[in-house]
Amino acid sequence: MSNLMDAIGMIYAIFHEHAGPDKKLNKAEVVKLVRKELGKGDSGKAAESFFKTMDDDKDGFVDFNEFTTFVAASCILLNESLRSSQP
């Protein structure tokens, strides 16, 4: 499988690994995902801010589209930080 299909498959698998049967992430599931995948969110405050950032429509859950938007924003942040550090 190509790298891009790998990446897309990973994003899909990570979300559904943590979301469970209701296919949405509640706050506790976001905390677990962020801790495992990003090694962050140990403090309640960090977890809270990740959840607020992801839960775009403020319905108390993060659905797949909101998660994908978060991942896309993370890609853009990575790109900008790496570009600004280049000569």
**Cβ-based nearer residue to a copy of itself, 28 or 73:** 73
> In the stretch 20-49, what mask flags binding to a copy of itself with x, by CB under 8 A?
---x------------xxxx----------
Residue 69 to residue 67: CA distance in whole angstroms: 5
**Cβ-based nearer residue to a copy of itself, 26 or 69:** 69
Closest CA relative to residue 63, chosen from 31, 34, 20: 20
Residue 55 to residue 47: CA distance in whole angstroms: 12
**Cβ-based nearer residue to a copy of itself, 46 or 71:** 71
